[in-house]
Amino acid sequence: YRTPSGKKVTSHQWAVYDYILQIPEGKVTTYKQICLAIGQGSPRTVGSALRNNPFAPYVPCHRVIASSLFIGGFFGEWGTIRRINQPAGRPVVLDKSEFQCERKLELLRKEGVCFTSDGYLEDKLGSLWK
Q: Write out the catalytic residue numbers.
A: 61
- Residue 67's CB: how many other CB atoms inside 10 A? 11
Close Cβ partners of 93 (under 8 Å, ≥ 6 residues apart): 83, 84, 86
E-strand spans in the chain?
29-30, 64-65, 73-74, 77-78, 83-84, 93-94
Round to whole Å and give the CA distance between 28 and 20.
10
64: β partners: 29
